[in-house]
Structure 1
Amino acid sequence: MSQKCHHLDLVDRSLRQLYGVASSRDVEVDKDTIESFVAALFRRSVRCLLESRVAAELCCFRLFQTTPVQKHAPSLLSIIQLQDYGTKKSTLGMVLGIALEHLLTFIKDMQDTTLRHAVAGQVGSITQACCTLLLSSQLPSKTRSAAGELVTYFIKHHKHVSASAHFDVASLPDRFLNELNSSKCTQTVKGVILDVLGGLFNKYPDAMTVHRAAVGRWIDQALDKQFSSNAPEMQIIHGCFVCLSEILDEATYDQSKRDTLFQFIHVTLATAASGNLSRLAIVKACLGLLGKHMHLFATNLVEADPYQFYLLMLHCCASSTKK
């Protein structure tokens, strides 16, 4: 047990170091130092996971407990929930961004069913904290994006995330729309927000019905703008395709709108086939949209030369499985 305690003590030490950096008002800490602290935390956490089931569960408790016991270090969750940006918000933003990237990898690699169950109780708290970070205009784009990617992962892969308890689907999508309409929000963050919205539409279709029209209108305008631009934002296009996969239907998309959307799909696939589009995530999102709603584009497929379009899709499908 002494070895287990030693590993847990090292995790606590890393958490104290990280909390000290994140909450500091007076000291600017460089990226390399922050990276080393975060890497040490997760390296020590992995050692606990590999040590034994007991050590692993204790480690998960230390990382994600909502109310840390006085004698223990602050939890990683308490660091993510820090609201006082102080005078060194750039340092906090860097800590959060790097920590969230490592946390996503850590969660993805946690294959043990029991350990995933141990974390499940805190998924809601982590998700809520990450939604707050995603909506915070004070934080760097990279940090907000990392928070959004973690939220998207939890929506897709954890059944313990509740629409009513953890997302407040009555108001959260409206706040996301406000960010999508904000000139201060970067295109990258907007793309991540669209990914989150797509996940919400997929997982909670009934609760999200009221938001379909507003999100759909925003997407229509965004796609028109992106495909008429000489420098389209790939993250925006990807997010739009992800959302449309969940909200597209015959009742709201008449033939004229479907013609326009099919043209965007065709351009995306043709650009990918020509070698001028290297973002495989966009190709996959495009193929996913087309595959899910192929019946809506029957007329378009005939007019586009079905055989040639089939060859185009075949090429893109083969390319999209490389990674």
Structure 2
Amino acid sequence: MAAAAGVSRSAVSFAFNSPHRISTATRDRILAAAHEIGYVPNTLARMLQAGQTQSLGVLLPQSLAKIMENPYYARFLMGAGQVCDQEGFTLLLTPPLRESMLKAIPYAAVDGFIVCGLEIDQGEVSELERRRVPFVLVDSDPQENVPSIGVDDRGGAREVVRHLLELGHRRLAVLSIDPGPEKAVRGYRGPLGRRLAGIVDALAQAGMTMADVALAEVPATRTDGYRATRALLADTALTAIVALSDILAFGAMDALHELGVDVPGQVSVTGFDDLTESAWLRPRLTTVRQAIATKGRTAADFLISAIRGEDQHPHQLLSTSLIVRDSSGPAPGH
């Protein structure tokens, strides 16, 4: 570019970044030459040199294919995106690299990270702190001096199981999100651990334990919810299915409809999330509502505050509420 305009490289930089430092004639010559050869300044390189990208990274716990299959993330990213639009930031989705969230961190040119679903810290927190990259944890176990956002998973799960027990259900199945291989070492962690703890709380009030319910642990996809439900019904006499995400509940409903099982006459189904489709299903899904878009907005707000050096926020716990619709009813015989 400098050679085409017959000027120094510094003059080219001034023309695009500090035009007051060169004459109008020189700037016009540089811009004319740039137009002629189709030159566009490298905005990213300039931002990186200044130490800012005006981009927030969303560090994801799963591959992009799996993330995009789950409508939960569409709601979450919508909330984060609303704040980015308002504040002039972009969003960069950062999936695991070779199945590692830690390995993906150095490759994202961002000003900070929204870290999603970090149920087990495998060095990500210390790496971000070492790099002095601002970050906010979402749906993780709270850590000291780290901003984080979560929801009352335990209370929500307790309330929905208590609802089924009050309807007379005792033959329950739980469709759980797959905890992964770390479960054998560390047990259930993060939102999943809290939701299962809420189920244990509710069962205890009825004199029951997890040994009294069927448990299936599957990836959080509609297809896996469908397959797991068919397998459960082949082996177990059930009157209610407690799905720990709406997407699994959708799959359960698909399987029950295909098998000719009346919902809720024969089997009640509940979910967790209150995705938009939950109110569209027939019957409409009883579920636990969490403020997904609000969670995304809060995470982006917290992160931008951290990037700007403003006051840091403590852990914020968002409430949940039971939304009773048509997919839950009295146990057969009650």
Higher helix share: 1
Compute the TM-score of the two structures, normalised by the length of structure 1.
0.27
Greater percentage in strand: 2
If you compute each CA radius of gyration, which structure gives the higher value, 1 or 2? 2
Task: Name the structure, 1 or 2, with higher relative contact order (CA <8 Å, separation 6+).
Answer: 2
